[in-house]
Structure 1
Amino acid sequence: MHTLILHQTPIEYRNESSQKPPQNVQESAQISAEQILQAAKNNTATLWRGDFHQGKQLLAALKKRVRKPSKPAATPAEIFHKHRLAQSQQSREINMLLVEVGVNFTVDLPRAPDVQAALLDVYGVANTEAFLLPFNQLLGFIGAHEWHKQGVPISALGGDKIHVPFGVFSPLRGEYLDLVQQIRLPENCHTAFDIGTGSGVLAAILARRGVANIIATDNNPRAVLCARENIARLGLVNQIKVLQQDFFPDGVANVIVCNPPWLPAKPTSAVETALYDPNHSMLHGVLREAAAHLAADGELWLIMSDLAEHLGLRDSGSLQQWFAEYGWHIAAQSHTVPSHRKATDERDPLAFARQKECTYLYCLQKNSFQAA
């Protein structure tokens, strides 16, 4: 736990990012974005004491000031790394504007909304002592809470919704879910493991396809709770069990499905671990260990994008090489192109790569397969 000194008294500082906390904090009810940035250079955060909506306007002005065009880069990988570095630096500066959250998740500012439900969604239990939080993250929590209540309709589930709270990866990219719904199942497929289940959406799709016994695992407690709630909401508790653990449960399955992080880079927050994984460590772990957890003639289903290749972060053909090195061959595969907003946004610094991206579902079988 990190603390700052406010009125000569320690107060907890919370930040969902891995950023280092500021050393000092100043208070203000009237300050400019430029003054906040000047204080930030001295590692001093600003605690907002003014009107809530004026604070939102100040935050918007702060974002405009910190979002500067990055310097030209020579290679796709350099473009990506400079973009990530710029995002990190900008996020830290934006998070230098703080708000105090009182006991039971109250915000004592003029025109402040009731944020108790949103913060309960994030932290699980009410706080008994005040803490400081980046204003921008508070707004993110509020927005995530609304998305959680609203839910995301999933075409592969017939339009039924998956509800996702802050801190769990949301299945907004429906195209890869359709691949799992459409690909043929192995014969006599009775059991499945969903590794890194997140919201539980892949397990739900397999259950709707008739797989009778599914175990879904995740090491993120927020994801485990989220998946259990979604499974219950969809009426699939008799088919799916959700466990909090790394990788594989005991026993064997006819199908193991995994959607590992697609980009080999360092995450900067818990939710980013669904997107970024240095050196593809989860992918290698699954390829190395999955065969011991497959029934005879079972299949490992991997969902992977080729975005890393277009960004120069992975050599073309590396996936197929790794499959061979770990003793797998491709029994079937399908692919699709992204339909999300960023795929067609020319303002995105990574648009040059996103426009070429394909997402693949690889159905892998072990060479000279022997039952575990």
Structure 2
Amino acid sequence: MDRPRKPADAQKGPTPAAATFTFPPDAAFTWHSESDEPAPTRLSPVDDRLRADTALQRVRRGDFLRYTGDFHNAKQLLGALGRRLERPWQARSPLEAFRAERRARQLEHATLSRIVVALDRSYRLELARAPDVSEACRQVWGEPTTDFTVVPLKQLLGMLGAAEWRRKGLAVPGLKGLLHPHYGVYLPTRTDYVELLAAVPDVKGKRVFDVGTGTGVLSFLLLQRGAASAQATDCDSRAVACARENAERLGLAQRFQVAEADLFPEGKADLVVCNPPWIPEPPKNRVDRAVFDEDSQFLRRFLEGLPAALNPEGEGLLILSDLAVLLGLRPPGWLDEQFARCGLTVAWRKSTPARHAKAKDKADPLHAARSREVTTLYGLVPGTR
């Protein structure tokens, strides 16, 4: 039976100090959830005595459990709950495997997000032996507006990990300097698509649009190769702030602009680059939007609007994985049909096989598809130039 336990050194001495503030049962609080789940109407306090089996029963009934014990035991409880959840069954096709894996991930999120923690007005965590989470919280939420904040523990742990990436920075192949990603913005640890930009033959002096910029990494690579300017857009305010900060850090702010927008900036460009979400399924939460594009709506609208966004000799640069085809979410030939529908011709293309960790992990439920995944950079021009 999995049960959070005190570490050996704690067992020899007194119980670790309790939290240094009290969260009243009827206190008003700010609720933060990436899935936009409504704030819980009732929080049930629990501590280190709670067994994982009991916790699972209670969250399945719909309870929100506010952990008040030891920080490390709280993390152990999350792990124990995760091990008790049903894993994807043996699927007969890649599509069945994908559906089963998505259901499993949704179940995991719905279950683990009901283990919550409270923070005070200084973003101090109500747990013994808790780390300082205040900086990570301010980076994501800004200054607190109420005396207490409640957040799923799993989300808070993700924010702590993201804050460490942001502090240390990330080396990206071809980029001079480090990239500092923000929480909730797609992290380019999978660099296949980034490295494809080296295939673009001549970018010197070009005006660039970057649609769905994320961290801004594609703009920065093109600017460092000699592009004259880059105007970027993203529909997520966190991505806009992230790209703007990284442009400053890399000394590119004078040639880089970014705005929160749905698709294209105003005007026309010589190069329009886009790495859209590649899975045509509904996103389940805000973070999902970087990967999931319901019914390929974003991709369709990008292709439809691309000709009007290009200068007479301009070119679109579309970077897209074929994983959706391998999973059976798109039919073969679908993308070529969309190019033709939008009056676009593929002037050239460059492809690379997937090299990310999941493509090599035979234990991954989607390994059969991911091991064959190919990402392609398409050079697109209007008409039959």
TM (normalized to structure 2)? Answer: 0.90
Inter-CA distance 139–57: structure 2 relative to 1 (3 Å threshold): same
Deviation string for 1:124-174 (max 9, x for gaps)?
22343202111111111111100111111011214x211101111111111
Q: Within 2, Cα distance between the matches of 1:70 and 1:169?
A: 25
Is 70-79 or 236-245 further displaced after alignment? 70-79
Corresponding position: 1:184 with 2:208: no
Distance in structure 1 (CA, Å) of the matches to 2:245 and 2:38: 33
Which position in structure 1 is the counterpart of 2:366? 350
Gap change, CA 1:35 and 1:200, over 3 Å in 2 = same
Deviation at 1:17, TM superposition (A): 2.2
- Structure 1: how far apart are the matches of 2:298 and 2:363? 31
Q: Indicate the percent of aligned positions where both proteins have the same amino acid.
A: 37
Cα deviation digits, residues 93-116 of structure 1 (max 9, x gap)? 111111111112111321111100
Aligned to 2:182: 165
Match of 1:253 among 269, 274, 285: 269
Confirm whether residue 107 of structure 1 aligns to residue 139 of structure 2. Answer: no
Q: CA deviation at 1:246?
A: 1.6
Give the superposition deviation at 1:58. 1.6
Alpha-carbon distance in structure 2 between the residues aligned to 1:6 and 1:195: 46
Q: Secondary structure at the match of 1:157?
A: coil
Counterpart of 2:289 in structure 1: which amino acid?
T
Report what 2:69 is aligned to: 50
How far apart, CA to CA, are the structure 1 residues paired with 2:360 and 2:300?
31
Deviation at 1:53, TM superposition (A): 1.4
Aligned residue type for 2:347: A
Whole-Å separation in 2 of the counterparts to 1:200 and 1:163: 10
2:78 is equivalent to residue 59 of structure 1: yes
Q: Which moved more, 1:174-183 or 1:21-30?
A: 21-30
| Unpaired runs of at least 5, structure 1 | none
In 2, the alpha carbon distance for the partners of 1:297 and 1:211 equals 15
The partner residue of 2:33 within 7, 11, 15 is 15
The reply on whether 1:80 has 2:98 as its aligned counterpart is: yes
Amino acid aligned to 1:138: L
Deviation at 1:120, TM superposition (A): 0.9
Distance 1:245 1:301 in 2: 19
Is contact 2:162–2:183 with CA below 8 Å preserved after alignment?
yes
Give 1:119-158 correspondences, 5 Å limit.
119-158=137-176
2: distance between equivalents of 1:10 and 1:127? 11
How far 1:290 sits from its partner (Å)?
1.2
CA distance in 2, matches of 1:38, 1:84: 22
Task: Specify whether residues 351 and 368 from structure 1 end up closer, same or farther in structure 2 by C-alpha distance, changes over 3 A only.
Answer: closer
Q: CA deviation at 1:341?
A: 1.2
CA displacement at 1:270 relative to structure 2: 1.3
Tell me which residue corresponds to 1:220: 236
> d(CA) in 2 for partners of 1:21 and 1:155?
42
Contact 1:22 1:43 in 2 (8 A): no
Per the alignment, in what secondary structure is the counterpart of residue 121 of structure 2?
Answer: coil
In structure 2, the gaps of 5 or more residues are 1-22
1:314 aligns with one of 330, 341, 356: 330
How many Å apart are 1:368 and its aligned residue? 5.0
Deviations 1:313-333 (A, max 9, x none): 011111111101111110011
Task: Report the CA distance shift for 1:197/1:309 in structure 2 as closer, same or farther (over 3 A).
Answer: same
Does structure 1 retain, via aligned residues, the 8 Å contact 2:322–2:375?
Answer: yes
Is the partner of 2:317 in helix, strand or coil? strand
Task: Give the counterpart letter for 1:325 in structure 2.
Answer: R
Q: Contact 1:224 / 1:242 at 8 angstroms: preserved in 2?
A: yes
Residue 197 (structure 1) aligned to one of 204, 210, 213: 213
Shift of residue 189, structure 1, vs aligned partner: 5.0
Pairing partner for 1:37 from 56, 78, 81: 56
**In structure 2, how many angstroms separate the alpha carbons of the residues matched to 1:235 and 1:7?**
49
What is the TM-score of this pair, normalised by structure 1? 0.93
Counterpart amino acid of residue 201 in structure 2: R
Q: CA deviation at 1:214?
A: 1.3
AA aligned to 1:110 is A
For the 8 Å contact 2:271–2:317, the answer to whether it is kept is yes
Q: Out of 74-83 and 140-149, give the one that drifted further.
A: 74-83
The root-mean-square deviation of aligned C-alpha atoms, in Å, is 1.7
Cα 1:84–1:19 change in 2 (3 A) is farther
Residue 116, structure 1, aligned to residue 124, structure 2: no
Per-residue deviation, 1:32:
0.9
Give the whole-Å Cα distance in 2 for the aligned partners of 1:291 and 1:65.
Answer: 51
Distance 1:119 1:112, change over 3 A: same
